[in-house]
Chain A
Amino acid sequence: MRIKADTRLCVGSGQCVLTEPAVFDQDDDGIVALLTDHPDDQSAAQAHHAVTLCPSRALSIL
């Protein structure tokens, strides 16, 4: 599984960070920052869930 984050679309809701903090972070300006773009098996399901929760469709699975 590979995750992509489009920082231009991100609106800083923090939904992804709440859902899977092992994969998603926010920089000081509140914009999404990926901690890894290859979530391990343990994080995969939650990372997938975060993609569906993102309100600005900034996250996608490649």
Chain B
Amino acid sequence: MTKGVTGELAGLELPVERGCPFAPPAAYEQLREQAPINKVRLASGGEAWWVSGHEEARTVLVDGRFSSDKRKDGFPLFTLDAATLQQLRSQPPLMLGMDGAEHSAARRPVIGEFTVKRLAALRPRIQAIVDRFIDDLLAADQRPVDLVQALSLPVPSLVICELLGVPYTDHDFFQSRTTMMVRRTSLEDRRRAFAELRAYIDDLITRKESEPSDDLFGRQIARQRQEGTLDHAGLVSLAFLLLTAGHETTANMISLGVVGLLTHPEQLALIKADPDRTPMAVEELLRYFTIADGVTSRLATEDVEIGGVSIKAGEGVIVSALSANWDPAAFKDPTDLDVERGARHHLAFGFGPHQCLGQNLARMELQIVFDTLFRRIPALRLAVPVDDLPFKSDAVIYGAHELPVTW
């Protein structure tokens, strides 16, 4: 996870890779117990504030004096390598890295696509996608099956096809390239998949510009034309943002959710007995794993007094959503996976104006996958001991590389 952070005031060496696959690094807790906000040293050089208290995390993330612009000097970029940073600096900024009015202008036109109502209309399509992959699973002539390849990756990829309006005949292409992009293959393979997808999406948007379509991009194009500002490059970037923000995250959460439920059979039994519990189980799994820790980093643009410390303009702030989600002041017995906890105030989707745009889509995908998988394959179990599972313990987005299952 948050590789290369060393506690300074705390005098701790943080082994910040997740040791136990089901818990934050032990050092997170030690730091949080010392103070909700600590100064830490970054392996990349320099210092940053480490926010681990739930209340303090929310306070920082709603405060407009903290910037999301990763291109600014001093931004605590411990999760990005130099090459990614250079790429980031050479491209127009995405809403993820914008602030204030500029961010609002980029996000507002799209949020209508992600309302609870509009997404509900997508539910039958997503159910059909999930059922199709589970049909294939059940028809597999060999077991164990790697659930990551068979379900976790393809489902969100096809859901994004629905969102982007990718025609059916191109689904196989889209799915294979999106999978390639996040596989443990060579950098060259991943670059090629990225380039092919980029060219494909560019062409797709061009086609949609000439033939009106009743989908997300069709509507964005119509809206922009009305305002007289058709921004082709911006639409391509938006499509890519939805793909990169929504594919691997959801896929990892599917895999981890399945592992979490299979290793807590009493919890799984609760949702099997009553699928009405699944939405809350999804919230709890999101909290428990908090796969996107540390993506909620910011840069102070003014001096700010917060949680008993004075943060100066130009200083970096790393909000650890994972630590905040395991803060006993906000969640009773946070180490327990409790699908009946009923707590929605976790920060797995962030907080503040950047709170995940696709959160309700992700929720729906996860609910449908867990319900359908355990209903149709009730005897599903891990094919290897949990200790043998390859977890992405050092990745920016936590997950599992492989998940061999059988039944």
Residue interface bits B86-128, CB-to-A below 8 A is 1, else 0: 0000000000000000001001101111111100000000000
Q: Contact between A11 and B353 (Cβ–Cβ < 8 Å)?
A: yes
Complex: A13 Cα to B354 Cα, angstroms: 9
Q: Contact between A56 and B111 (Cβ–Cβ < 8 Å)?
A: no
Contact partner of A31 (CB less than 8 A), chosen from B111, B116, B345, is B111
A11-B107, A14-B359 are known contacts. Are A55 and B352 too (CB-CB below 8 A)? Answer: yes
Residue interface bits A15-31, CB-to-B below 8 A is 1, else 0: 10111010001111111
A52-B345, A53-B344, A55-B353 are known contacts. Are A14 and B115 too (CB-CB below 8 A)? Answer: yes
On chain B, which size bracket covers the interface?
Answer: 20 to 34
Q: Contact between A14 and B360 (Cβ–Cβ < 8 Å)?
A: yes
Contacts from A to B (Cβ < 8 Å): 11-15, 17-19, 21, 25-31, 49, 52-53, 55-57
Q: Contact between A13 and B355 (Cβ–Cβ < 8 Å)?
A: yes
Residues from chain A with a CB closer than 8 A to the CB of B356 are: 13
Q: Contact between B62 and A56 (Cβ–Cβ < 8 Å)?
A: yes
Q: Is B240 an interface residue (CB 8 A)?
A: no
A17-B116, A28-B112, A30-B112 are known contacts. Are A11 and B62 too (CB-CB below 8 A)? Answer: no
Complex: A18 Cα to B353 Cα, angstroms: 18
Complex: A52 Cα to B343 Cα, angstroms: 12
Q: Contact between B112 and A12 (Cβ–Cβ < 8 Å)?
A: yes
Give the shortest distance, in Å, between B220 (CB) and chain A (any CB): 12
A13-B359, A18-B360 are known contacts. Are A53 and B345 too (CB-CB below 8 A)? Answer: yes
Residues from chain A with a CB closer than 8 A to the CB of B345 are: 52-53
Give the shortest distance, in Å, between A50 (CB) and chain B (any CB): 9
Residues from chain A with a CB closer than 8 A to the CB of B76 are: none
Chain A binding surface, main DSSP class: loop
Give the shortest distance, in Å, between A15 (CB) and chain B (any CB): 7
Contact partner of A55 (CB less than 8 A), chosen from B107, B114, B115, B350, is B350
Complex: A28 Cα to B350 Cα, angstroms: 24
Give the shortest distance, in Å, between B155 (CB) and chain A (any CB): 21
Residues from chain A with a CB closer than 8 A to the CB of B344 are: 15, 18-19, 49, 53
Give the shortest distance, in Å, between B68 (CB) and chain A (any CB): 13
Residue of B nearest to A19 (CB): B344
Complex: A15 Cα to B108 Cα, angstroms: 16
Residue of B nearest to A11 (CB): B353
Q: Is B194 an interface residue (CB 8 A)?
A: no
Q: Is B351 an interface residue (CB 8 A)?
A: yes
Give the shortest distance, in Å, between A39 (CB) and chain B (any CB): 18
Q: Contact between B117 and A26 (Cβ–Cβ < 8 Å)?
A: yes
Residue of A nearest to B363 (CB): A18
What are 19 A-B contacts defined by CB distance under 8 Å? A11-B104, A11-B353, A12-B114, A12-B115, A14-B116, A14-B359, A15-B355, A19-B344, A26-B117, A29-B112, A30-B108, A30-B113, A30-B115, A31-B111, A49-B344, A53-B344, A55-B350, A56-B353, A57-B62
Give the shortest distance, in Å, between B123 (CB) and chain A (any CB): 14
Q: Contact between B360 and A11 (Cβ–Cβ < 8 Å)?
A: no
Residue of B nearest to A30 (CB): B111
A13-B359, A19-B344, A53-B344 are known contacts. Are A30 and B114 too (CB-CB below 8 A)? Answer: yes
The 7 closest A-B pairs by CB, nearest first: A12-B111, A30-B111, A55-B355, A30-B112, A26-B115, A29-B112, A17-B116
Within 8 A of A (CB), among B179-232: none
Complex: A27 Cα to B116 Cα, angstroms: 10
Complex: A11 Cα to B114 Cα, angstroms: 11
Residue interface bits B16-56, CB-to-A below 8 A is 1, else 0: 00000000000000000000000000000000000000000
Give the shortest distance, in Å, between A19 (CB) and chain B (any CB): 7
Residue interface bits B132-143, CB-to-A below 8 A is 1, else 0: 000000000000
Complex: A30 Cα to B117 Cα, angstroms: 9
Give the shortest distance, in Å, between A56 (CB) and chain B (any CB): 6
Contact partner of B108 (CB less than 8 A), chosen from A13, A17, A29, A53, is A29
Contact partner of B351 (CB less than 8 A), chosen from A28, A31, A55, is A55
Give the shortest distance, in Å, between A10 (CB) and chain B (any CB): 9
Give the shortest distance, in Å, between B311 (CB) and chain A (any CB): 20
Complex: A38 Cα to B198 Cα, angstroms: 49
